[in-house]
Amino acid sequence: MKLNPDDIRRLAKFTLESGPDEVTCEQWLHMVGEYVEAEQRGEADGPAHAQVAKHVAACTHCAEELALLRELLDGEA
Ligand SMILES: [Zn+2]
C-alpha cells in the first residue's frame, strides 16, 4: 500500500486527535466513577486509571468534574 501526502496528513491528524490511549470526555465520564472509588481505596493505578488521570491533565472541564466527585465522596466518608 502506498500513501500519498494527503493520506499521511489525514492519518497524522487522526493520531493527534485520538491517540490509542486517549479517551473522549464521554468515555471518561463512564470511567471516572470507578476511578474515584478505587482512588479512595488507594488502588487507582491500573491502565484505565492512567487514562482517567491523563485526560484530566489535558481537559479542564473533566478536571473540575473529578474535583467535584472527590468532594462528594469525601463528604460521604
Ligand atoms: Zn474531558
Q: Quick check: is 13 in a domain? A: no
Higher pLDDT, 48 or 76: 48
56: domain range?
A: 21-76
7 C-alpha to ligand 1 centroid (Å): 28
What per-residue confidence (pLDDT) applies to 64?
97
CA distance 60 to 40: 22
Cα within 13 Å of Cα(49), Cβ side: 12
C-beta of residue 7 within 8 angstroms of C-beta of residue 37: no
55 C-alpha to ligand 1 centroid (Å): 6
Query: What would the pLDDT profile of 15-53 be if each residue is shown by its tens digit?
Result: 555 555 688 999 999 999 999 989 889 987 788 889 999
Q: Quick check: is 9 in a domain? A: no
**pLDDT-based confidence at residue 67 (cuts at 50, 70, 90):** very high
Q: Quick check: is 14 in a domain? A: no
Q: Quick check: is 3 in a domain? A: no
47 C-alpha to ligand 1 centroid (Å): 17
Q: Quick check: is 7 in a domain? A: no
Q: Quick check: is 66 in a domain? A: yes
Q: Which residue has the cell 490509542?
A: 20
Q: Cβ-count burial of 52 within 10 angstroms (0-12 exposed, 13-18 middle, 19+ buried)?
A: buried
62 C-alpha to ligand 1 centroid (Å): 4
